[in-house]
Amino acid sequence: MNVLFLHDEIDFYKRYLNYKNQNTKNSIAVNDSFLEIEEWINQCKSNSINVYFYTKNLDLKKIDFFIFEELPNFDNFEIKNIFNLNKKKILIQRENQKINKRYNNSDLFDKFDQIFTWDTKKLKKKNFQRFHKGINFTNIVNNKPYFLNKKFASMVAWNKIINYYETLYVERQKIIKWFNDKCPIDFDLYGYGWNKFYFKKPKLLRVFNRIEFITKILSPKLEVYQGQIDGSLQDKLNIIKNYKFHFVIENASLNGWITEKIFHAYLAGTVPIYLGAPDINDFVPSNSYINYMDFKDLDDLYKFLKNIDNLSYESYLESARNYLESDKKSAFEVHLNIGSIINYLLQNFKNN
């Protein structure tokens, strides 16, 4: 069986090989970006599946299955050639429709034989199957500080502008500004781009985002900003383990849209303050995190956090530990998610 894997980032596989061969520290690895591709390669090898990554000289006729990471550009000449072939096409939907608005066009899904998605609303439809971003649950950190020795709260986030006003990026900035203005000593911000100013609207002004001199000059100079995390996922966990609380703000509030962020808090032994999927309790215990939406404003939340004692705090951590030791986390296990695609390939190859 021959499978062609088309990642939406053209140089992704080259970056993976560079990361693997040189063992370089890459900030992208903080989000487990290479974890799934490694699992994908290993499971294909174990099942005698030949996996290819797109090159212009590849003979497309010898491919049995085409797997797309995200929706491709259907106007692209090579993509048109692929869809003209009578071969099965599979879509892995990673992004959400708030960030990638093309996912609002349901007709595009009809172009694929099978769709793997996090979107729980689509799972009742034919040819849709559950799939979540795989998490490496073995990265539990050790030597976690005692409650009284921990700093107060942290956040790890990129300063982004994509569809800004339709996402939860606005809420992230609200939290950052609140702490920066009222109690910067109790909050540390990490991530890319917070030492720059980004023009968001009107669109014409966004051209200035490419001029680093201007973005640096207009930077808000956040007192809470501690810089980037330029290492591996383990480096991220070793930083956030030093905080009692970690703000987990997803990119969007959609059923099933649950990324690695809350699980990284669990693995680091810090209590997540979560804002994101409305159905989060269908996936993780409600007593393992603090729900951001339970509070009328940040003043109310801050007061609640300040009054949490050691026993109450430990109850959150115990619930998270129990979850990590249970089978409930299987929906996010990287080998099971990749395995569901492998099973689909094996079953449908036999039927062809």
Q: Parallel, antiparallel, or unpaired for β 88-93 and 271-275?
A: unpaired
Q: Say what the pLDDT of residue 218 is.
A: 62
pLDDT band at 28 (very low <50, low <70, confident <90, very high): very low
Alpha carbons 196 and 216: distance in angstroms, whole number: 5
Burial 97-132 (b: 16+ CB within 10 A, else e): bbbbeebeeeeebeebebbbbbbbebeeeeebeebb
Cβ–Cβ < 8 Å for 251, 275 = no
Question: Does 147-328 match 2-134+333-351 at the fold level?
Answer: yes
Look at 5-9, 31-35, 175-179 and tell me which has the smallest mean pLDDT.
31-35
Mean pLDDT value across residues 53-64: 82
Of 181 and 208, which is predicted with more confidence?
181
The CATH code that applies to domain 147-328 is 3.40.50.11660
pLDDT: is 86 or 28 the higher one?
86
The CA distance from 138 to 335, in Å, is 12
pLDDT confidence of residue 7: 77
* Annotated domain spans of the chain: 2-134+333-351, 147-328
What pLDDT, in 10s, does the model give residues 297-314? 999 999 999 999 999 999
Which class for 226: exposed (0-12), middle (13-18), buried (19 or more C-beta within 10 A)? Answer: middle
Q: Does domain 2-134+333-351 have CATH number 3.20.20.70?
A: no
Q: What is the DSSP string of 112-176?
A: -SEEEES-GGGTTSTTEEE----B-TT----SPPPGGGSEEEEEE-----TTGGGSTHHHHHHHH
In the chain, % of residues over pLDDT 90: 57
- Considering only CA atoms, which of 259, 275, 273, 262 is closest in space to residue 313? 273
Taking only the tens place, the pLDDT of each residue in 74-110 is 888 888 989 999 999 999 999 999 988 999 998 999 9
